[in-house]
Structures are given as structure tokens and as C-alpha cells.
Amino acid sequence: MRIERWRYAVPLRLRSLLRRGRVEGELDEELRYHVDRLVEANVAKGLAPEEARLAALRAMNGLEQQKEACRDARRVTLLEDSVADLRYGFRSLRRDARFTAVAIMTLALGVGLNAAVFSVVNGVMLRGLPYPDADRLVSLWEENLREPPANMSTSGVALGGASSPGRTTVAPANLVDYRGRTRSFAGLAGQSPKATPNRGLSSRPSRSAPRPR
């Protein structure tokens, strides 16, 4: 809708909302005027007053329906109806305390569960790992592309990722070599399934690792 039309439409909408009684009164008056003129015309045509009135109302084609259609034209019925529904909702809640208690408990339970699940998801999946430059942390592993030989049986587990059947444990000596020769990473660290660092390898990234170029 263009700005110029809003100049007419906005005051009308506000008036329909805020001066509802007045607007309704005017609707009544407007239609009553029409009906009265119709009655006059019918009387002038020679009908009896009572008959003239009935004919006029028939000609209006359902006075109440027309009024309702005029109210719909105001485009605020949705808002008015929603307010009425809300009021009705609050009234029913006040009337039935047991139902209200159940409803509130259901809501509280839902909200609580949601918060709990979210805090877990947030901690495990969304928030970064508690290391410096956590957004630059990646996991590396060795993988057998073909069938792993029978004598190499253990499979590696990636940091925060699922293990695939082809993954193997990185030998500590390999890790030392990787660490010494890598050019793509600032540093490398090993992770052991056991909680304690073993065989002299740190389970945490070393802070003395060279910074990336």
C-alpha cells in the first residue's frame, strides 16, 4: 500500500481498535438511515407501515450479516478475536485450579528439559574445546584404505569424531616423526585411550609448539 493511502487507512484502523463503541454506533446509524429511507420509499409506494418495514429489512439482505461483513472490512477482527480468546483463556485458567497446575507443570517440565538438553548439546557439540585457538584444532589419524592386516588389530578413535573401521593406532615413533617434519600444522600431540600420558608423549597439545607461519 502506498504512503498516501496509509494516511487514510492508519487513522481508520486505530479508530476501529480504540474507539470501538463509537465505530459500532456509527455503523448502526449508517445502516439505520438506509433502512429508514427504504421504509419511507416503500410507504410512498403505498405499502402499510409494518409491511414497508419488513420489505426494507428483506431488501437489506440480512442486516446482521452485512454488519459483520462491514466489521470484517475493518481488518482488525483478527486482533480483536485474539484478544477475546486470550481473555477467555485466562478466565478458564482461573476457574479450574487443577487444570492450571497441570498446564503450568507441563510447561515447566518442557522448558526445564529443553534447557538441560541444550546445555549438554552446547557443551559437547557447540562450544569449542578448552584449548587455546580451539577453532584451529583438528584430529589426524592413520587409516588403512584396504583390508587391515590381521596382525594390526587396534583401531584409533578420533577426537570428537566417530571411528571408522580402517583407522589404526599411530605408533609413538611415527608421531615423533610427524611432529618433527610437519609443515602444515603448528604442532602435533598424541592422545592415548588411557587417562595418563604414557611413553613420554603429552596428551595435551604442547604450548611450545611453533606458531604457524
CA distances from 173 to 13, 122, 145, 168, 189 (A): 79, 36, 21, 14, 12
- Considering only residues 90 to 109 of the shown chain, the ones binding another protein according to CB under 8 A are none
Among 175, 158, 156, 180, residue whose Cα is nearest residue 166: 156
**Residue 70 found at the interface with another protein (CB under 8 A):** yes
Minimal distance, residue 24 CB to another protein, in Å: 12
Minimal distance, residue 70 CB to another protein, in Å: 4
Minimal distance, residue 41 CB to another protein, in Å: 9
Window contacting another protein (CB under 8 A); options: 71-79, 82-90, 91-99, 177-185: 71-79
| Closer by beta carbon to another protein, 56 or else 188 | 56
Minimal distance, residue 1 CB to another protein, in Å: 7
**Residue 69 found at the interface with another protein (CB under 8 A):** yes
* Residue 152 contacts residue 167 (beta carbons within 8 Å): no
- Considering only residues 3 to 62 of the shown chain, the ones binding another protein according to CB under 8 A are 4-9, 12-13, 26, 29-31, 33-34, 36-38, 56, 59-62
Interaction site with another protein (CB under 8 A): 1-2, 4-9, 12-13, 26, 29-31, 33-34, 36-38, 56, 59-63, 65-66, 69-70, 72-75
